[in-house]
Structure 1
Amino acid sequence: MIAQQASREVGSLFEELMAAKDDSELADCVKSIVTALGGESYVFVSLHSSATTASRATHRFLIGCRPEWCQMYNANKWYMTDPFLEYARSNTAPITGSQIVAETQGQREMLVAASEHGFRSGIVVPVHTSATERMGVLYIGSEDSQAVGEKRLTAHRLYFRALAMELLDWSIRMARREVLEAHGITEMDLRVVGYLRSGFTAEDIAREMDISVQTVYVNYRKIKDKIGVSHISEAVKFAEVNDLLA
């Protein structure tokens, strides 16, 4: 009976999460879900899979842990050697903290600091999607020992995987909307760029969209001006990097 009640509670929280209107509402819902599943702290990060560790231009964060931990993480540039992030780039299975072997002094220092700031035990959940090149990593932490905390968190790994996927979907939608609004990119612009990515010529696009070739070239110029690039092929790359094309 207790398990059924907990399941219903988590299910209700997931419904609230999917209806969240902004990052603040989302963060509150995630915190409630994590707590209901036995966690205490969390960090979710999404990034473009091809992004280098030194450049975080495509990174998006949702923070549910002590702020000083994030400050230390950034100040020490641990994102450049984060073993969990590197694991997530090429794996999809959740992994506990004790399963990660620190190979460098920087990684050892990071893991020690994490254990002192809400991640004494924990589980890391990678998530990938075939629709875009953006990936996500959900870090769940507990103040309990590894023996106790990891056992409890691992028992809920299916819920955590579902949570990570929902957060990645949210991140993709928000990142896309922000880029479209910032550059004034329209759905017609995206349609043109999508045809270009598929190998269409200007003539092909004109025929497909039932417009003149001259109009296609006018659209090219407008798209380049909006994005700030000199060649239309750069606009295609921009759209790919920012997950604008389905």
Structure 2
Amino acid sequence: MSNAKKSPAAASVSASPCTLTNGESSNVGERTTPSDSSSPCSTSSSSGMQKHCGTSNPPTAPSPAETLLTRVADERYPARVATIAAQITAANDQPTVHTLFLEGVTALGATSAVFVSFVRDDGDLAACRFMLACDPAWARIYVQEGHFVHDPWLAYAAHHSEPIVASALNLLDNDHRRVIDLAARAGFVSAVLVPAHSGAGHSRISLLCLGSATPGYFEDAGLPRLRVSARMLALELHDWWLARIRRDLIAKARITPADLVLLQHECQGHSSKKIANEMQVSKSSINSRFQRMNAKLGVGNRRMAVQLAVEFGLILK
């Protein structure tokens, strides 16, 4: 067994507990270890996913006669969503964000929704968090049966940024169909996929899935207007998660402003000698500081420290 240290935000895992709660998750921003299996809902996979699921009552359903087009035709439609999205940045905790998420989904006109934020490492799905506005039983089955490995919606979000009606995707095999059938039973008979990307390398991605139990609800002339507002909500949720993960990483690894200066120098390709000259210290002092910082981050070298810092938005590349 390897004794190599693991980054507080980048350790590989093989257990996948799913915590369904309205409150704060105790380890948001950190992947779990195989021993972290206290949740009644757990599974093992080669990808090793972590789930944090905020759950609540599904959004209020539109009236049976209301179509998407009639919903978005209201001149107040974009303003309602914008007002909710604008509050997310200032939210201090996950329950507040989850409440705003539910309000945003209702304002958009969906009757169910999932917001999932995930990390893609070397093309593999490595970690995942959920906020739910649907039946939480769906999430338990999704995790227990390992559907994330064959989820065509996640695969689309990993490689595209354009919102799309889920029915436009080609289902390549029976595994894909099982994932979609499960989603349909959870209220996603008609669905819109709204990816959100940011950060260097685009390894940290989010996906807002809006659902309706009404067949063809989103396959409607109102879709273009919904896409604009849904993108706004998805991006604000995505940016909030990234900011929270950055704060957690800095706190857990005890990263200082001086550490960030060193990382920025390394990112720019500066040698220890050049950094030492600019900071008016010895070269050995710079090397020692890098070694201590690498240990705090749980990585083996400077290059890996910079890669981690860029991925989590601690420095700009």
Identify which of structures 1 and 2 has the higher relative contact order when contacts are C-alpha pairs closer than 8 Å and 6+ apart. Answer: 2
Counterpart residue number, 1:43: 114
Counterpart residue number, 1:144: 214
AA aligned to 1:87 is Y
> 1: CA distance between counterparts of 2:257 and 2:278?
15
Match of 1:101 among 170, 173, 178: 170
Name the structure with the higher helix share: 1
Given that 2:161 and 2:194 are in contact with CA atoms closer than 8 Å, whether structure 1 keeps it comes out as: yes
Counterpart residue number, 2:258: 188
Confirm or deny that 1:168 pairs with 2:238. Answer: yes
Given that 1:132 and 1:243 are in contact with CA atoms closer than 8 Å, whether structure 2 keeps it comes out as: no
Match of 1:65 among 114, 134, 142: 134
Structure 1 unmatched runs, 5+ = none
Counterpart residue number, 2:67: none
> 2: CA distance between counterparts of 1:21 and 1:143?
33
* 1:40 CA drift (Å): 1.8
Given that 1:60 and 1:171 are in contact with CA atoms closer than 8 Å, whether structure 2 keeps it comes out as: no
In the TM superposition, what are the counterparts of 1:1-246 in structure 2 within 5 Å? Answer: 3-56=74-127, 59-131=128-200, 133=202, 134-145=204-215, 147-151=216-220, 152=222, 155-246=225-316
AA aligned to 1:109 is R
AA aligned to 1:200 is H
Given that 1:122 and 1:153 are in contact with CA atoms closer than 8 Å, whether structure 2 keeps it comes out as: no
Cα deviation code 1:101-147 (max 9, x no counterpart): 211211111111100102111100112225563222111111211x2
Given that 2:190 and 2:218 are in contact with CA atoms closer than 8 Å, whether structure 1 keeps it comes out as: yes
1:171 is paired with a residue of what secondary structure?
helix
Cα 1:19–1:236 change in 2 (3 A) is: closer
User: If the length of structure 2 is used for normalisation, what is the TM-score?
Assistant: 0.70
Cα 1:54–1:91 change in 2 (3 A) is: closer
Structure 2 unmatched runs, 5+ = 1-72
Paired residues in the alignment total 242
> 1: CA distance between counterparts of 2:200 and 2:307?
16
User: If the length of structure 1 is used for normalisation, what is the TM-score?
Assistant: 0.88
Cα deviation code 1:169-218 (max 9, x no counterpart): 11211111111111111122122122112211111112233433233123
User: Would you identify which runs of 4 or more consecutive aligned residues in structure 1 move more than 6 Å?
Assistant: none
CA RMSD in angstroms comes to 2.2
